[in-house]
Structure 1
Amino acid sequence: MTTRIAHAGLAARRMSAEQAAGLILPGMTVGMSGFTGAGYPKAVPLALATRIAAAHERGDKFALRILTGASTAPELDGALARVGGIDFRLPYQSDPELRARINAGQIEYMDIHLGQVAQYAWCGFLGKIDVALIEVAGILPDGRLLPSTSVGNNKTWLDLADKVILEVNRRQPEGLDGMHDIYYGTALPPHRKPIPLLQPGDRIGEPYLRCDLDKVIAVVESDAPDRLGRFAPPDEASRRIAGHLVEFFHHEIAAGRLGDQLLPLQSGVGNIANAVLGGLREGGFRGLTAFTEVIQDGMLELIGDGTIEMASATSLSLSPEGVEEFVRRIDFYRQHIVLRPQEMSNHAELVRRLGCIAMNGMVEADLYGNVNSTHVAGSRIINGIGGSGDFARNGFLSCFMSPSTAKDGAISALVPMVSHVDHTEHDVGLVVTEQGLADLRGLSPKQRARAVIAQCAHPDYRPMLQDYFDRACRDSYGKHTPHLLNEALSWHQRYLDSGSMR
């Protein structure tokens, strides 16, 4: 591309971020790009926050319904939340300012499986989308759009929004051209047809986003990097969790339930996920594949050294060092990475067909394998369920991982009953802590409880869990899933009252 805006008609619609922000009116629903800190608009949201703050100083009401792919960054979620510019948000967030206002009851937040967002939008469940604000890496001469480091729900917002504002970010590498696969073959029930994807690397769509050019009301140029943080090196607990999981994979291969190349991997974000990925390399695995949502530094390293041969995702969530490595070898990575819309990366049909191995973090699990991955003490949202449920329910194997304790031992990650359920016992195959791994497949509730206590609980809490379980087996109303209802959540209440579950 000789210019990032190669379409003459769209080039004529260039304007400043402030001018574009002036086209977004109070009460509008705005579908914005962005998925896990990548590919979000960086100029217009900041200008919009300034405009909203000025309106509030005049005593005018000004707040928006904000829909994205997943989390964004301080320039979007943080800036708009800080000035009171958001009254509704979905489907996932990670900004401290936004989180605080959600938990204070100032912003309505809908936590939803990422794979369901596009369908909700197409079915009208989310109402009319007034504006799509989408970051792209470039505009081709025929008006097609070169996607940036994340695809997310961009296709859906562009298709459904009444008006479109494009941010063309010169900082996005032009070498992304050819890395995307945008599938336009979806339909609503009852007119759906099978999605023709059989392997993670299959290309079934187009490398560019389409857009009705008559809907484009502004084109804004920007030059800013994705604002992504660095994950700390894996600690001892993370390395032990990784070791347990890799050992389990070798056991499954020996038992004939997995092949040497496993099955397509899905990995959440964070230190534990990076540790598990590193453990696969150390465990001698080669030629693996991934069908996941996010490629972060750990997975990029495995692609770079051949441990992972092909990875499909919807976003590149890389540290500054990871971005530097990605850009340096972008021609190589373009042969081994496919970026798709999240309705494809998280599609139940594809996850089930490919037989993904889902590896995700959790806040807590209970004796029977129910998992809470979103809330503290049942009421304070952390980030959201993200895509973990898409893979846990539909994958071949569902693994949930966490250190056995938190807050210097004041909190146990294994409790009698979780304070909030995101993944029921029916969708959880493995629970893994640094203490060990509980394989819950094929077990009854009481058998699961014994495995969780023996394999995963911290020694400081194991006797407490065993005592609760023994008394529940004796005194519970029913003996199938024994619980003492007056004690089931007492550990959480004790923490709120005293600062410790002990």
Structure 2
Amino acid sequence: MLADTGGYNGDHQRLTKLSENMRAKSRINNPLLATRIMSAAQAAALIKPGATVGMSGFTGSGYPKAVPAALAERMKASPFKINVLTGASTAPELDGLLAAVDGIATRLPFQSDPICRQRINDGHIDYIDCHLSEVSQYVWSGFFGKLNVAVIEVSAIREDGLLIPSSSIGNNKTWLEQAEHIILEVNYQQNLRMEGMHDIYYGTALPPQRKPIMLTEAGQRIGEQYLRCDLNKVIAVVETDSADRNTAFKAPDDDSRRIAEHILNFFEREIEAGRLPKTLLPIQSGVGNIPNAVLEALDSGPYKNLSAYTEVIQDGMLTMLKSGTLTMASATAFSLSPAGIAEFNANIELYRDKIILRQQDISNHPEVARRLGVIATNGMIEADIYGNVNSTHIMGTRMMNGIGGSGDFARNGYLSIFMSPSTAKQGHISAIVPMVSHVDNTEHDVKVIVTEQGLADLRGLSPRQRALTIIDNCAHPDFREALHDYFARACASGRGMHTPHLLNEALSWHERYESSGSMRSGRK
């Protein structure tokens, strides 16, 4: 799979180097496709200006490495733009390079590259922030127009033309089916022993032809091991030998550990109340250091025989699978640190029986999340006193990354937990505010909010009850008094007691930060 070469080294012009050993044993076993092998530059020349291109990749794994770089070089010499659709975030070799040469006109559904983010916020890229579960349906329905080209990374091509997927599935099934033309990148760094880990389901359909997805357990297989491909649509095959992006996770800090402790204490109370079994329910975990801290805490707790139905396999899940805390993990991609990659490759026989990679319209499917009763844990930028969550926008206008899959699971899971440190920017920003500057997950979908200060269980509470619970349990002490003052004056205003607000002050905390650099009253 995912050999560790030290990660992306900052050299955007690095060349793909194919080893003599790789040349001796080709992974392109179909005779027809073997005749279509060409260089990345030759393949990139087949993509026309203005094309809509479906690229593989999800959270820095399984994305094409060579064709995007060659495409960026071509754009640098003769500027033009394309529309880029992926599974989720990719890496600097794709999003970063194309954004740096101003080569992206429209981007969806999720990104995390700093150059791409800056281009979006400068207005140079039209960004469509979508629920990840819906992208495939949107493309099938023609909402984004015709998909001209699919550029898909695979581990190998079988003699019969079936494709062995690499370290992510994402939207690859849809791209292969919908694209007029296909370019395949065969990456020799991907571990061939992943074969058999994937589960591609070909039973989806558009309304009114839909049938129930008969998936009742996280570890259940309902599809096929390989991606189907119309060989007549393949216009190029490019050989690569490049590692996935791999980012080291930070060790959990004190805030992350406290957040994890609050969540585990909550689980214990739910078990005692009979609302959760001792094996909990399938876990969905967002990506990052706080979710990994929660996974680490679960692994050190009394839990055994847990399962995960999520988007991404992170380091913490490998640890849990190895220890037996987790018996099965279903996802659509890996997102591992260099240490996690080494661990996976060293023990792949163990993990292959415990991990299933699915396409994202199944890994994130609302029907399945509701049926399995998923426990969703995701990060947030801010929450307001009534439980609305902003996961995407800084100060209401500047895109961070995107909503990703959090909404898929928050609305449809059994429990939706959002977590964040209570402050940011050295204490100048409060994560708990009178009104969020942008809403991604409404108060109707948010069940639990957690900061290092405490946990607010919002189930069964009216808006005013939620406000006091969130302020008292989650707000940092430096902002708690101001939040109580705002809420008390809103209640006394007579403007409506169901969800009291002072409209002229609701976003004043954000305005204060924009003008003075701090949400703290009176600070300059």
TM range (shorter): over 0.9
Label 1:476 to 1:31 Cα distance change in 2 as closer, same or farther (>3 A). Answer: farther
* Pairing partner for 1:26 from 44, 49, 58: 49
Structure 1: how far apart are the matches of 2:321 and 2:519?
Answer: 42
1:52 matched to 2:70: no
One-letter code aligned to 1:165? I
Structure 1: how far apart are the matches of 2:225 and 2:26?
Answer: 18
One-letter code aligned to 2:282? P
383-392 or 291-300, which moves further after superposition? 291-300
Structure 2: how far apart are the matches of 1:80 and 1:430?
Answer: 39
Structure 2: how far apart are the matches of 1:229 and 1:244?
Answer: 27
TM-score, L = length of structure 1:
0.98
One-letter code aligned to 1:441? R
Structure 2: how far apart are the matches of 1:304 and 1:382?
Answer: 34
1:315 matched to 2:338: no
Name 1:395's counterpart in structure 2. Answer: 413
Structure 1: how far apart are the matches of 2:105 and 2:314?
Answer: 31
Name 1:288's counterpart in structure 2. Answer: 306
Paired-residue identity, %? 66
1:80 matched to 2:98: yes
The 3-state SS of whatever aligns with 1:50 is: helix
Structure 1: how far apart are the matches of 2:494 and 2:318?
Answer: 49
Name 2:59's counterpart in structure 1. Answer: 36
* Pairing partner for 2:366 from 330, 345, 348: 348
Structure 2: how far apart are the matches of 1:205 and 1:178?
Answer: 11
Structure 1: how far apart are the matches of 2:132 and 2:153?
Answer: 19
1:336 matched to 2:354: yes
Structure 1: how far apart are the matches of 2:331 and 2:494?
Answer: 45
1:168 matched to 2:186: yes
The 3-state SS of whatever aligns with 1:460 is: helix
1:477 matched to 2:500: no
One-letter code aligned to 2:420? S
Structure 2: how far apart are the matches of 1:393 and 1:457?
Answer: 24
The structural deviation recorded for 1:300 is: 1.3
After TM superposition, which residue ranges in structure 1, 4 or more long, deviate above 3 angstroms?
Answer: none
* Pairing partner for 1:443 from 461, 482, 486: 461
* Pairing partner for 2:448 from 427, 430, 438: 430
The structural deviation recorded for 1:476 is: 4.3
1:377 matched to 2:377: no
Structure 2: how far apart are the matches of 1:296 and 1:37?
Answer: 12
One-letter code aligned to 1:138? A
Name 1:453's counterpart in structure 2. Answer: 471
Unpaired runs of 5+ residues, structure 2, are 1-21
One-letter code aligned to 2:120? I
Name 1:11's counterpart in structure 2. Answer: 34
Structure 2: how far apart are the matches of 1:111 and 1:5?
Answer: 36
> Are the aligned partners of 1:163 and 1:215 in contact in 2 as well (CA < 8 Å)?
yes
Structure 2: how far apart are the matches of 1:228 and 1:25?
Answer: 31
Structure 2: how far apart are the matches of 1:304 and 1:373?
Answer: 32
Superposed counterparts of 1:28-427, under 5 Å: 28-56=51-79, 62-427=80-445
Alignment RMSD? 0.8
Unpaired runs of 5+ residues, structure 1, are 57-61
The structural deviation recorded for 1:126 is: 1.1
Name 1:59's counterpart in structure 2. Answer: none
The structural deviation recorded for 1:3 is: 3.4
One-letter code aligned to 2:124? Q
> Are the aligned partners of 1:314 and 1:341 in contact in 2 as well (CA < 8 Å)?
yes
Structure 1: how far apart are the matches of 2:167 and 2:335?
Answer: 8
One-letter code aligned to 1:481? T
Structure 2: how far apart are the matches of 1:26 and 1:473?
Answer: 57
Structure 2: how far apart are the matches of 1:90 and 1:208?
Answer: 25
Structure 2: how far apart are the matches of 1:417 and 1:299?
Answer: 35
Structure 1: how far apart are the matches of 2:298 and 2:494?
Answer: 43
One-letter code aligned to 1:329? N
The structural deviation recorded for 1:299 is: 1.2
1:228-279 CA distance string (max 9 Å, x none): 2111101000000000000000110001000000000000011100000111
> Are the aligned partners of 1:476 and 1:483 in contact in 2 as well (CA < 8 Å)?
no
Structure 1: how far apart are the matches of 2:361 and 2:451?
Answer: 31
